[in-house]
A and B are shown apart, each in its own frame.
Chain A
Amino acid sequence: MNAPFFKFGLFGDNASLLVAFLIGIGFGFFLERAGFGSGKKLAAQFYFRDLAVFKVMFTAIVTAMLGVFWGSRLGFMDLSQVYLVPTHLTPQLVGGVLLGIGFVIGGYCPGTSVVAAATGRLDAWVYMGGMFAGMLAVSFMMPELAGFLALGDRGQTTLATLWNVPYGVLVIAVVLIAVVGFVGAEWLEVKFGGVERKAQPLLGAVGLRGSRRLMLGFAALGLTAALAGSPYVGSTATFNTDELTLDVVRANDHLTAEQLADRLIAAVDVPRIVDLRDPAAFARSHLPGATNVPMAGLGREPWRADETVLLYSGADPHAEQAWMLLKARKFPRVFTLQGGIEAWNEQVLFPRIAEADSNAARKKIAVAHAFGGTPRTDGAAPAALEAAPMPVAPPPVVVPATGDNAPRKKKKEGC
C-alpha cells in the first residue's frame, strides 16, 4: 500500500508542481481530442444535438471510479488518503445551478475555456477575462459569503456513507446509469442532431466491437465491485495490552541517550536506528548511522522480526506511536529513544559539565568528543565553551531545527 505517492512522502512539494504540469498536459490533451476546445460543440450538449460532454465526462468518471475502487481493493492505494472536497449541500446546489447557467451563456467551463483559448478561440479568451473579473469581485465578497458557504455542512462524505449503502453497489449503479445514458445519448443525437444511426459506436455497430466491448468491460468490473466489499482497506493488527503495559512499566520500551551512546561506542547490541522525522529535518541533522523512515512510510518499510529497532523523532510523540504500531505488528525488539533527538543533543553531544574533575564528567566529555560534540560548562564560562577544541570530524548533529513542528500552511486541494 504505497499510493497516493505524494501523501506517503515519495516526492516533495517542488516535484509535485512538475507532476501537476504533466497531469495538466494530459488533461488538456484529452479535452481537446474530445472536441471540448469548441464552444459550439460544448453548447450543443444542451440542445440534445451532440452529447459528447456527457459521454466523455461519464466515461472518465467510470474509468477513474473503477480504477480507484480496484486499486484500493487490491491494496495498491489507500483510498482514505485521496482528498474529498467537503460537502456543503446548499452552496453546492446554488453554485451548481449558477455554473450550469453560466456554461450555456459563456459556452465553456473553466477547464475547457483554457483549451479553447490555447487553440485560438477568441471568445474563450473573453470568457477567461470574464471569469477573472468575476473572481476579483467574488474575492471581496468571500468574507460576507462565509455564512452561506457553511450551510448544509456534511463534511467529507461519499454517497456510500451518506446513504449507508455499500461502496461497490454505488459503483455498479453509476456504471449502469452511464451505460444506459450513453445509449440514450446516442439515440437523442440520431433524433435531434441528425447523426446517422450507423455512425453511432454503441447503437450502430455490428457485433461486439470497440465501444461495446468497453461497456461490457465496465459492466464486468462494476458487477464484481458490487460483490467485492469495501475499498477502504487499512491494515489491521492486534496487540496484547497487558504485555505492552508491562513493557512500559519495566522500562523495556526505551533506551536513554546515554545507554545508546554506550552501545554504539562498545559496538555491542547496536540497534537499527530509525529517524521518523521528515527528510528535510533528517538532512539537517540525525543520529550516527540512522536511516530515515518518515512516519507515513512506516507501513511500507520492510521490518525484520529478528532485528532490534530504535525509533526516535523530534519533539512530537511519533516515536512512541510508531512503537505501538510496530509492537502491534508483532515486532518484539522495538525501542524508542527517550526524549528523542533533543535528548541525544543535550545528554550526549553537548552535555552540561558541572565538576570537570569527576570520573563521570570525564566520561561524558570523552563520549561527547567521540560523537563529534562539545561539552558545555555551566553558565559562568561561555568563553571556555567557545574555546573548547573543535572536533576533527564534522559534527553529525547540530542544533535541533526549530521549524520542524511549525504548522504548515494549509494546502488548498479543491478545484
Chain B
Amino acid sequence: MDKPTSHQPQPYMNPYLAGVGLGLVLLTAFVTMGRGLGGSSAFATAAGALIVNLAPETAKTNAYLATFAEGNPFKDWLVFEVLGVFLGGLFSGLLANRATTTIERGPRASVTRRLVLAFVGGGLMALGAKLASGCTSGQALTGGSLLNAGSWLFMIAMFGGAYGAAWFLRRQWI
C-alpha cells in the first residue's frame, strides 16, 4: 500500500472531535468576553467604514452609517476576530497541505458559472445576515448554544432555505 507523501492533503479531522474543538473555542469566548463568535459583521463594518470615508455627507443622513463615523470603526471585536479566523484557517490548511490555489466546483459546473454564483451568493448572504442580525456563526452557533429563541428559528429557516434551494443548484455542485 502506498504511503501518502508529505505533499498530499491530509484527511479532515473526525467531525465530532472538530466540533468539540469549535465548541471549546466558543465556550472560551463566553467565559472571557461574555459574547459569542461572528463572521458577517466584519464585512458590514468594512463596508460601512468605506462609505463613511468616500461619501461622508451621504453617511451623515443615514442613521445606520453614522455609527461608523464615530471613532475608529476597525477597532472592533469582530474585525479582530475575523482577522484571527483568516490566520487560524491558513495555519491549519498549511499544516495539512490543504492550502492550494483552486476553485471549488462540481464536475458539471464551469468556472464562470461558479464564480458568478459565488458572487451572487455572497451578496444574498449579506442581505440575509443583516436582516437576521447574524449569520451561521453569530446566530446558529452562538445563539444555538445559548438556547437563544431567535437563533433557533434562524437555524431552522436557514437549513430550510438551503435544502429548498439545493435541487435548483445541483448542476453547480454534483
Complex interface residues of chain B between 69 and 99 (CB less than 8 A to chain A)? 70-71, 75-78, 80-93, 96, 98-99
B132-160 CB contact bits vs A (8 Å, 1 = yes)? 11111111111111111111111111111
Which residue of the partner chain, among B37, B43, B133, contacts A23 with CB atoms under 8 Å? B37
A63 in contact (CB, < 8 A): yes
A109 in contact (CB, < 8 A): yes
Which residue of the partner chain, among B34, B105, B136, contacts A7 with CB atoms under 8 Å? B34
- Give, as a whole number of angstroms, the nearest-CB distance from A184 to chain B: 14
Which residue of the partner chain, among A18, A32, A87, A92, contacts B157 with CB atoms under 8 Å? A92
Which residue of the partner chain, among A28, A130, A135, A157, contacts B92 with CB atoms under 8 Å? A28
Which residue of the partner chain, among B16, B89, B154, B169, contacts A118 with CB atoms under 8 Å? B89
Taking a contact as CB atoms under 8 Å apart, the answer to whether A59 and B15 are in contact is yes
A229 in contact (CB, < 8 A): no
Which residue on A lies nearest to B156, using beta carbons? Answer: A96
Q: 16 pairs across A/B with beta carbons < 8 Å?
A: A3-B32, A20-B84, A28-B92, A55-B15, A85-B133, A87-B150, A98-B131, A100-B159, A111-B135, A113-B122, A116-B89, A129-B122, A135-B47, A139-B51, A182-B16, A412-B78
Which residue of the partner chain, among B14, B47, B158, contacts A132 with CB atoms under 8 Å? B47
Which residue of the partner chain, among A43, A77, A102, contacts B30 with CB atoms under 8 Å? A77
Alpha-carbon distance between A351 and B120 when the two chains are bound, in angstroms: 69
Stretch of A159-167, A239-247, A366-374, A378-386 at the chain-chain interface: A159-167
Alpha-carbon distance between A49 and B163 when the two chains are bound, in angstroms: 13
A65-84 CB contact bits vs B (8 Å, 1 = yes)? 10110010000010001111
- Give, as a whole number of angstroms, the nearest-CB distance from A71 to chain B: 7
Contacts of B36 in A (CB 8 A): 82-83
Q: DSSP majority for the B interface?
A: helix
Which residue on A lies nearest to B64, using beta carbons? Answer: A142
Seed contacts A67-B24, A89-B153, A124-B104; 17 additional CB < 8 Å A-B pairs? A4-B34, A40-B106, A44-B173, A67-B30, A83-B36, A84-B148, A87-B149, A88-B133, A92-B139, A98-B128, A98-B131, A101-B161, A106-B117, A112-B136, A134-B127, A412-B78, A415-B38
Known: A37-B89, A107-B121. A64 touches B145 (CB 8 A): yes
Contacts of A27 in B (CB 8 A): 22, 25-26, 37, 81, 84-85, 88, 137
B6 in contact (CB, < 8 A): no
A288 in contact (CB, < 8 A): no
A317 in contact (CB, < 8 A): no
Contacts of A107 in B (CB 8 A): 104, 117-118, 121, 172-173
Taking a contact as CB atoms under 8 Å apart, the answer to whether A415 and B39 are in contact is yes
Taking a contact as CB atoms under 8 Å apart, the answer to whether A47 and B170 are in contact is yes
- Give, as a whole number of angstroms, the nearest-CB distance from B120 to chain A: 6
- Give, as a whole number of angstroms, the nearest-CB distance from B69 to chain A: 11
A31 in contact (CB, < 8 A): yes
A303 in contact (CB, < 8 A): no
Contacts of A135 in B (CB 8 A): 40, 43-44, 46-48, 126, 130
Which residue of the partner chain, among A16, A60, A94, A100, contacts B22 with CB atoms under 8 Å? A60
Contacts of B103 in A (CB 8 A): 121-123
Q: How many A-B residue pairs have CB under 8 A?
A: 580
A304 in contact (CB, < 8 A): no
Alpha-carbon distance between A359 and B138 when the two chains are bound, in angstroms: 67
Taking a contact as CB atoms under 8 Å apart, the answer to whether A415 and B89 are in contact is no
Contacts of A120 in B (CB 8 A): 93, 99-102
B1 in contact (CB, < 8 A): no
A270 in contact (CB, < 8 A): no
Which residue on B lies nearest to A78, using beta carbons? Answer: B34
Contacts of B137 in A (CB 8 A): 27, 109-111, 415
A394 in contact (CB, < 8 A): no
- Give, as a whole number of angstroms, the nearest-CB distance from A322 to chain B: 21
Contacts of B114 in A (CB 8 A): 123
Contacts of B174 in A (CB 8 A): 44, 47, 49
- Give, as a whole number of angstroms, the nearest-CB distance from B152 to chain A: 6
Q: Name, among B99, B106, B148, B149, the residue most crowded by chain A CB atoms within 10 Å (CB to CB).
A: B149
Contacts of B44 in A (CB 8 A): 135, 138-139
Known: A60-B20, A121-B104, A415-B41. A110 touches B135 (CB 8 A): yes
Taking a contact as CB atoms under 8 Å apart, the answer to whether B141 and A57 are in contact is yes
Alpha-carbon distance between A195 and B41 when the two chains are bound, in angstroms: 36
